[in-house]
Structure 1
Amino acid sequence: MHILVIGLNYQTASVIIRERLSFTKDSTETAIQTLRKKKSIQECVIVGTCNRTEIYCVVDQVNLGTTDVTDFLREWFGINEEEFEPFLYVKEDDEAIKHLFRVVCGLDSMVLGETQILGQVKESFNRSQGLKSTGTLFNRLFRQAIALAKRVHTETDISMNAVSVSYAAIELGKKIFSHIQHKTVVILGAGEMGELTGKHLVSQGVNQILVVNRTYDRAERLAEILKGTALEMGRLSSALVQADIVISSTGAKDYVIRKQEIQTLLQKRDKRPLYMIDMGVPRDIEPSVNQLNHVYLYNMDDLQGIVDENLSARKKEARKIEGMIEEERVAFQSWLGTLGVIPLIAALREKTQTMQEEAVRHIENKLPHLTDHEIQIIRKSFKVMVNQILHDPFIQMKELAGSSNQKEFISQLSSLFGLEENTQTSIPFPFRERSGSSQAGTRMLVDSIQ
Structure 2
Amino acid sequence: MTIELYSNRIFAYLIMLEKLHILSFSHKKIHLRKLGELIISEEELKSRLISIKEELHFEELLYVGTCNRVEFAIVSNDQPNVSTLLQHLFPDLSKDSLEFFKTKVIEYQSEDAVKHYFDVVSSLDSLVVGEKEITSQVKEAYEKCNSFDLTGDVLRMLQDQAIQVSKAVFSQTKIAENPVSVVSLAYRELREINKNINSKFLIIGAGQTNKLMAKYLLKHGYKNFSVFNRTLANAESLAEYLNGDAYQLDSLNGFSEDFDVIITCTASPTPVITNKLYQKLSNKGSEKVIIDLAVPGDVEESVSNSSSVKYISIENLEIIAEKNKAKREKEIGAAQKIIAASILEFEKRAQKREVELAMKAIPDKIKEIRATAIDKVYAEKVGKLDDDSKALLDDILNYMEKKYISVPMKMAKEILVEK
**TM-score computed with the length of structure 1 as normaliser:** 0.78
Which residues in structure 2 correspond to 1:32-431 (within 5 Å)? 32-62=49-79, 64=80, 66=82, 68-75=84-91, 77=93, 81-175=98-192, 177-178=193-194, 180-231=196-247, 233=249, 236=252, 242-262=258-278, 268-269=284-285, 272-311=286-325, 314-342=328-356, 345-346=359-360, 353=367, 356-357=370-371, 360=374, 364-366=379-381, 368-371=383-386, 374-385=389-400, 387-388=402-403, 391-402=406-417
- 1: distance between equivalents of 2:352 and 2:406? 16
After superposition, the C-alpha distances for 1:242-293 in whole angstroms (9 at most, x for unaligned) are: 3332211122232111234445666622xx3322121112221002223221
**1:12 maps to which residue?**
29
3-state DSSP of counterpart to 1:37: helix
After superposition, the C-alpha distances for 1:30-74 in whole angstroms (9 at most, x for unaligned) are: 111111113441111111122222111101022x55564244345
| Higher RCO (Cα < 8 Å, 6 or more apart) | 2
Runs of 4+ in 1 over 6 A off after TM superposition: 237-241
Measured at CA, do residues 351 and 194 of structure 1 come closer, stay the same or move farther in structure 2, by a change above 3 Å? closer
**Alignment pair present for 1:3 and 2:20:** yes
Letter in 1 for 2:190: G
Letter in 1 for 2:390: I
Q: 2:38–2:90: 8 Å Cα contact kept in structure 1?
A: no
Letter in 2 for 1:127: K
Q: 2:258–2:284: 8 Å Cα contact kept in structure 1?
A: no
Q: 1:241–1:268: 8 Å Cα contact kept in structure 2?
A: no
Letter in 2 for 1:326: A
Displacement of 1:332 after TM fit?
A: 1.9
Report the more deviating stretch, 31-40 or 388-397.
Answer: 388-397
Report the more deviating stretch, 310-319 or 323-332.
Answer: 310-319
- Name the count of aligned residue pairs: 400
Measured at CA, do residues 335 and 239 of structure 1 come closer, stay the same or move farther in structure 2, by a change above 3 Å? same
Displacement of 1:186 after TM fit?
A: 2.1
Displacement of 1:92 after TM fit?
A: 1.0
- 2: distance between equivalents of 1:365 and 1:119? 64
Provide structure 2 residue ranges, at least 5 long, that are not aligned to the other structure: 1-17
After superposition, the C-alpha distances for 1:143-193 in whole angstroms (9 at most, x for unaligned) are: 222333344444544433333221111112233x14543433321122221
3-state DSSP of counterpart to 1:298: strand
Letter in 1 for 2:107: V
**TM-score computed with the length of structure 2 as normaliser:** 0.83
Provide structure 1 residue ranges, at least 5 long, that are not aligned to the other structure: 405-450
**2:9 maps to which residue?**
none
- Identical-pair percentage: 25
Q: What's the C-alpha RMSD, in Å, of the aligned pairs?
A: 3.1
Q: 1:98–1:329: 8 Å Cα contact kept in structure 2?
A: yes
Measured at CA, do residues 399 and 312 of structure 1 come closer, stay the same or move farther in structure 2, by a change above 3 Å? farther
Displacement of 1:22 after TM fit?
A: 1.0
Report the more deviating stretch, 227-236 or 288-297.
Answer: 227-236
Displacement of 1:239 after TM fit?
A: 6.5
